[in-house]
Amino acid sequence: MTRVRIPPMLRSDVGGARELEADGDTVGDVIEDLVDRYPPLRSQLYENGSLGSFVNVYLGGEDVRTLAGLETPTRNGATVILLPAMAGGL
Amino acid sequence: MAGYRDLLARVKDEIHEISSLEAQERHQSEGAPLFVDVREPDEWEEGHIPGAIYVSRGRLESRIEGLVPDKARPLVVYCSAGSRSAFAAKALGEIGYEDVVSLAGGFTDWKRNGFDVTIPRVLSSEQRSRYSRHLLIPEVGEDGQQRLLDARVLLIGAGGLGSPASLYLAAAGVGTLGIVDADVVDESNLQRQIVHSTERLGEPKVSSAKRTLEALNPDVRVLPFQERLTSENVDRILGEGWDVIVDGADNFPTRYLLNDASVWHGIPVVHGSIFRFEGQATVFSPHAGPCYRCLFPQPPPAELAPSCAEGGVLGVLPGIIGSLQANETLKLILERGDTLAGRLLLFDALGTTLDEVSVRRDPECPVCGDNPTITDYVDYVEFCNAPAVYDA
């Protein structure tokens, strides 16, 4: 199981959870597992069938774009951080 | 019984004196002697011989061996007229300095001959007192404080993030603060925008902030820009010359516009953003590190971006993130420590956790990459339904 950090703007789509566990051998599988269980997430994260470029995904603090992208294998106990751009300066 | 004049005359007999003309020749020569100024601090601050070291007459004997360990080094000691330096030269000889002369006629004669004078930039006694806690830190000290006083920082937004950031920067003595904000103070701002106050309701935020900041520290000059940052005015405003920009905008169009402009103007941006209980902070240093577009190449589609007005924010959160921004700004000015460049700090106020993720410069970045595809300002549509202000 991989822990996935849910950013505040997506929490209403997952019943308010700040962190969830999901299954998968790669970062892509983990996210896929999550959107299967929480369908409203799909439209927030995906753009034309793939993960939107406005959402960053980190594994162990590293942007998966600098690793093997969504193919990056997850490690046991690692945390995935989903991070959409945030504009507020209120 | 011998008086002061007799004593002075006797001391002068025991030491060597040189005229200011000869001192000037030695000053210009290869292997010039070290000039030692033994006057009072206020006299030194009004000007001294270039390259001289300062040690007051009262502390000469106790300090000189630390300052000049080599007792064979030639010294020219001076005061204002040549009397205090005569006693100083005698004392230096007695503690073992081998080649000491006193400047006859002192600094007064040196100046009268029109020789070079250095006027040190010094803090006033009020500033010494105001910034005493900075002066005690070796990483800041007097040089660092002068840097802060000389620095020019532009704040985008006088709202949640801009309030604490501007207050701490003003308190620290950052000499010039530009503030860009088109809005007026509203009651709903006061839960977190602590640079404003109830009596300022309806007043333009830039003038309210100016009053607060200049009252906090008279060393600070606040330059108000009561306008929204646009592709039309961004070159004019950034072109006024800034050392650092503090980004406290609350909307994507301004953040992307500011990013692109700061890359093209070569000005580092201290980024902060907040939403409900969570905040982010990082530093974008043009070409030396990533930019905002390396982190997020493009804004989210309008329908997915959370509405600014609906979001809400815990009042203290911008206080924390804005203070982190002030901290990064001070370090950039002082060129001390490690900034957040290349790291995005994620703060969660509910769990009180601080995480960081790495941000790398993207060689494919459309603005700061090797082959930029964006070379002119992009006017993105406003995402919020709320009016386009810096702190809805």
Domain ranges of chain B: 4-112, 151-358
Does residue B217 have a pLDDT over 80?
A: yes
pLDDT score, position B182: 97
Answer yes or no: CATH 3.40.250.10 is held by domain B4-112: yes
Does residue B390 have a pLDDT over 50?
A: no
Q: Which amino acid, residue B200?
A: R
Does residue B167 have a pLDDT over 90?
A: yes
* Cβ-nearest to B300 among A54, A58, A90: A54
Instruction: Please write down the HEC assignment for all residues of B30-62.
Output: CCCCEEEECCCHHHHHCCECCCCEECCHHHHHH
Q: Which amino acid, residue B150?
A: D
Q: Chain B window 61-80: which residues touch A at a Cβ cutoff of 8 Å?
A: none
pLDDT, one tens digit per residue, over B229-282 is 999 999 999 999 999 999 999 888 999 999 999 999 999 999 999 999 999 999
Does residue A90 have a pLDDT over 80?
A: no
Nearest to B224 by CA among B243, B235, B208: B208
Region B184-201: mean pLDDT is 98
pLDDT score, position B1: 67
Go through B234-250 and write b for each residue having 16 or more CB atoms within 10 A of its CB, e for each that does not.
Answer: beebbeeebbbbbbbbb
pLDDT score, position B391: 39
Q: Which residue out of B293, B346, B354 would a mutagenesis test of the A interface target, given it has the greatest number of A Cβ atoms within 10 Å?
A: B346
User: Which residues in chain B are closer than 8 Å to A81, comparing Cβ atoms?
Assistant: 346, 355, 357
Does residue A87 have a pLDDT over 80?
A: no
Domains: count for chain A: 1
pLDDT score, position A33: 95
Catalytic residue at B384? Answer: no
pLDDT, one tens digit per residue, over B115-163 is 999 988 889 999 999 999 999 998 999 989 999 999 999 999 999 999 9
pLDDT, one tens digit per residue, over A53-69 is 888 999 999 999 899 99
pLDDT score, position B20: 95
CB of B164 less than 8 A from some CB of A: no
Residue labelled with tokens 């937004």? B157
Give yes or no for a contact between B194 and B168, defined as CB atoms under 8 angstroms apart. Answer: no
> Could A89 and B318 be called an inter-chain contact, meaning their C-beta atoms sit closer than 8 Å?
yes
Is residue A43 in some structural domain?
Answer: yes
pLDDT band at B177 (very low <50, low <70, confident <90, very high): very high
Average pLDDT along chain B: 93
Q: Alpha helix (H) ranges present in B29-83?
A: 41-45, 60-67
pLDDT band at B293 (very low <50, low <70, confident <90, very high): very high
Backbone angles phi, psi at B31, to 5 degrees: 60, 45
Give yes or no for a contact between B252 and B162, defined as CB atoms under 8 angstroms apart. Answer: no
Is residue A90 in some structural domain?
Answer: no
- The minimum CA-CA distance between B364 and chain A, rounded to whole Å, is 12
The encoded tokens of residue B70 equal 């080599």
The three-point CA angle B314-B171-B352 to 5° equals 30
pLDDT, one tens digit per residue, over B41-70 is 889 988 999 999 999 999 999 999 999 999
User: Which residues in chain A are closer than 8 Å to B273, comparing Cβ atoms?
Assistant: 86-89
Nearest to B112 by CA among B81, B134, B139: B81
Q: Quote helix, strand, coil % in chain B, to nearest 5.
A: 40, 20, 45
The encoded tokens of residue A29 equal 């599988």
Instruction: State the greatest distance between any 2 C-alpha atoms of chain B, in Å, as a whole number.
Output: 98
CB of A63 less than 8 A from some CB of B: yes
Answer yes or no: CATH 3.40.50.720 is held by domain B151-358: yes
pLDDT score, position B387: 34
Average pLDDT along chain A: 89
pLDDT, one tens digit per residue, over A7-30 is 888 888 999 999 999 999 999 999
Predicted complex ipTM: 0.92
Task: Measure the N-to-C terminal CA separation of chain B; round to a whole number of Å.
Answer: 84
CATH code assigned at A13: 3.10.20.30
Is residue A54 in some structural domain?
Answer: yes
The three-point CA angle A64-A65-A71 to 5° equals 60
**For residue A77, what are the domain limits?**
2-84
Distance CA(B4)–CA(B283), nearest Å, equals 64
User: Which residues in chain A are closer than 8 Å to B360, comparing Cβ atoms?
Assistant: 63, 66
Q: Which residue out of B228, B229, B259, B276 would a mutagenesis test of the A interface target, given it has the greatest number of A Cβ atoms within 10 Å?
A: B276
Region B278-288: mean pLDDT is 95
Q: What percent of chain B has pLDDT over 90?
A: 87
pLDDT, one tens digit per residue, over B362-373 is 999 999 999 999
pLDDT score, position B379: 85
- B16: which DSSP letter? E
